[in-house]
C-alpha cells in the first residue's frame, strides 16, 4: 500500500478540533457541551447578506474573476480607504477565507526554507500553512504575565538570521485577544525596514476592540508600504464563517501578481460567498456597536468569573473574542479531555482548546487554555460554574495541589 507523505504525517493536528470525538461522545451521553473551544460566533449574520444570497437569481452560477468579483473588490477598496487612503481594487485579492490569503502570502513572498518570525502563542494553523509552503516558523515568546504584549525589539533581533524573510502578527490576537498599540507596531516598522522584511498582519478581528481602544492597521505604517501584506476575512466580522471569503491586501503589486497565479490555479473564490460579503459591507455602524457591546459583556462575565476561581489567572483581552487562562493543572490537554470524558455539572460539560497547540516551542502553554466567549451570557455563567467544580474534582483525583 502506498505511504502517506512525510509532509502529511508531520502536519500538526488542530488543537481547536482534536477533542471533537470526546465532545461527540459526551453529547451522545445526553450532556450539553458548552463550546468555548472554537471561534464560531452565535451572533446573527447580517440580514443584508442573507437577503443578497436569497435574491440572487442568475440562471448560471459562473466562475468569478480569479482575483474576485470586481464589484466586490471596489466595494472593499472603499472600506479600506476608511482605514488608509489610497487603496484601490487592484490592491486586493479575494480569497477562499483568510486561511487561503495567508497561504498565498507565504508562498508568494517566501522561498522553501525561509523563516518567518511569529510571536507565540499564535493561531495554530499558522504552523500548518508554513509547513505546506515549505517555510520555517521561528517563534518568539510573549508572556501571559503582561497579557501577551509585543516582545521586545531586541528579542526580535536575536531571532533574525540570513534566512529570515518575514514577521507575522495577529492584531487583535488569536488566541490571546491582545491588541497591539500604534507604538508597538511602529517599533516593528524599524526592524522591518532595517532588515527589509515582509510584515504580514492577520487583521480579521479588526472590528472587535474594547475599552475605548482603537485598532491601528499595518496599512497605516509609513516607509514600509511595499513590505506590508494584510490578511482579512468576513468570517468573524459579520458572523459568516461558512461563506469562506477572505482577502489579501497589499500596495506591493508584485506580491499580488504572484498570488494571482496561485488564485488562477484554484479558479475562483466562492461566488455566493462574495455576493453575501459584498452586501454585508452595507451594514450600519450600529451593527458593530451592538456586537461590541455584547462581546464586552461576555468578556467581563468570563474573565471575572475565571479569575474568581482559585488558582486561575486570566488577563483581560482588549480585542477579538478569546481569552487565555492559566489553570492550576499540570497538563491542560489531559484536563480538557478529562472534563469531556468524565465530568458533568447539572447536565453540562465544557469544551476548551489546550493552548500548547498554539505554541511552536515544545513545552510551552502546558497549563493554559484558550476560551472563546462566543456563547450567550447565561451559558458562559454555566460554563464557569462547571469549570470551577471540575477543577475541584480534578485536583482531588490527580493531586494537583
Could you confirm whether domain 6-44+286-398 is CATH 3.40.50.12160?
no
Spatial separation of the C-alpha atoms in residues 288 and 244, rounded to whole Å: 20
What is the per-residue pLDDT for 176? Answer: 98
Strand partners, 322: 372
Average pLDDT (244-273) is: 98
Average pLDDT (2-20) is: 82
In this structure, what are the phi and psi dihedrals at residue 286, rounded to the nearest 5 degrees? -65, -25
Q: What is the mean pLDDT of the chain?
A: 96
Residue 392 CA: distances (Å) to CA of 239, 310, 329? 35, 9, 11
Does the pLDDT value for residue 116 go beyond 90? yes
Does the pLDDT value for residue 132 go beyond 70? yes
Average pLDDT (58-81) is: 97
Q: Where are the domains of the chain?
A: 6-44+286-398, 47-280
Task: Decide if 6-44+286-398 and 47-280 have a common fold.
Answer: no
Asked if the bond preceding 121 is cis, omega within 30° of 0, the reply is yes
Residue 158 CA: distances (Å) to CA of 138, 161, 240? 11, 8, 40
What is the per-residue pLDDT for 401? Answer: 54
Going by pLDDT thresholds of 50, 70 and 90, the confidence category of residue 178 is very high
Does the pLDDT value for residue 398 go beyond 90? no
Spatial separation of the C-alpha atoms in residues 175 and 370, rounded to whole Å: 6
Average pLDDT (331-360) is: 96
Going by pLDDT thresholds of 50, 70 and 90, the confidence category of residue 196 is very high
Does the pLDDT value for residue 121 go beyond 60? yes
Q: Which CATH number fits domain 47-280: 3.40.640.10, 1.25.40.10, 3.30.70.3270, 3.90.230.10?
A: 3.40.640.10
Question: CA angle, corner 287, sides to 244 and 67, nearest 5?
Answer: 30
Does the pLDDT value for residue 120 go beyond 90? yes
Reported pTM: 0.95
For the stretch 18-66, pLDDT in tens is 899 999 999 999 999 999 999 999 999 999 999 999 999 999 999 999 9
Cα 19–chain centre separation = 19
What is the per-residue pLDDT for 302? Answer: 98
Amino acid at each position: 500500500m502506498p505511504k502517506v507523505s512525510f509532509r502529511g504525517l508531520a502536519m500538526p493536528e488542530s488543537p481547536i478540533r482534536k477533542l471533537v470525538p470526546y465532545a461527540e461522545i459526551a453529547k451522545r451521553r445526553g450532556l450539553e457541551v458548552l463550546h468555548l473551544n472554537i471561534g464560531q460566533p452565535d451572533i446573527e449574520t447580517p440580514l443584508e447578506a442573507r437577503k443578497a444570497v436569497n435574491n440572487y437569481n442568475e440562471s448560471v452560477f459562473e466562475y468569478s474573476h480569479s482575483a474576485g468579483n470586481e464589484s466586490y473588490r471596489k466595494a472593499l477598496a472603499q472600506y479600506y480607504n476608511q482605514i488608509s487612503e489610497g487603496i484601490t481594487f487592484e490592491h486586493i485579492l479575494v480569497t477562499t477565507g483568510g486561511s487561503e490569503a495567508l497561504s498565498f502570502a507565504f508562498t508568494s513572498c517566501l522561498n522553501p526554507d525561509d523563516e518567518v518570525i511569529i510571536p507565540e502563542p499564535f493561531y495554530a494553523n499558522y504552523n500548518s500553512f508554513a509547513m505546506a509552503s515549505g517555510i520555517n516558523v521561528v517563534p518568539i515568546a510573549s508572556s501571559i504575565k503582561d497579557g501577551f504584549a509585543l516582545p521586545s525589539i531586541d528579542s526580535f533581533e536575536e531571532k533574525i538570521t540570513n534566512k529570515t524573510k518575514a514577521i507575522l502578527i495577529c492584531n487583535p490576537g488569536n488566541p490571546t485577544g491582545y491588541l497591539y498599540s500604534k507604538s508597538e507596531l511602529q517599533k516593528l516598522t524599524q526592524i522591518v525596514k532595517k532588515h527589509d522584511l515582509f510584515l504580514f498582519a492577520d487583521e480579521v478581528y479588526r472590528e472587535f476592540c474594547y475599552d475605548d481602544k482603537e485598532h491601528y492597521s499595518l496599512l497605516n505604517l509609513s516607509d514600509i508600504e511595499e513590505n506590508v501584506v494584510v490578511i482579512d476575512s468576513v468570517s468573524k466580522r459579520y458572523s459568516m464563517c461558512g461563506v469562506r471569503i477572505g482577502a489579501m491586501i497589499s500596495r506591493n503589486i508584485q506580491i499580488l501578481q504572484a498570488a494571482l497565479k496561485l488564485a488562477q490555479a484554484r479558479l475562483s473564490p466562492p461566488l455566493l460567498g462574495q455576493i453575501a460579503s459584498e452586501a454585508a459591507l452595507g451594514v450600519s455602524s450600529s451593527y458593530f456597536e451592538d456586537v461590541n457591546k455584547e462581546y464586552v459583556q461576555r468578556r467581563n462575565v468570563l474573565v471575572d468569573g475565571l479569575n474568581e476561581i482559585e488558582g486561575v489567572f486570566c488577563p483581560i483581552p482588549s480585542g477579538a473574542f478569546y481569552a487565555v487562562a492559566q489553570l492550576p493543572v499540570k497538563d491542560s490537554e489531559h484536563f480538557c479531555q478529562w472534563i469531556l470524558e468524565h465530568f458533568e455539572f447539572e447536565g453540562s460539560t465544557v469544551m476548551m482548546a489546550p493552548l500548547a497547540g498554539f505554541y511552536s516551542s515544545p513545552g510551552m502553554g502546558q497549563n493554559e487554555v484558550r476560551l472563546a466567549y462566543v456563547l450567550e451570557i447565561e451559558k458562559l455563567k454555566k460554563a464557569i460554574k462547571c469549570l470551577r467544580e471540575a477543577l475541584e474534582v480534578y485536583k482531588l483525583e490527580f493531586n494537583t495541589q
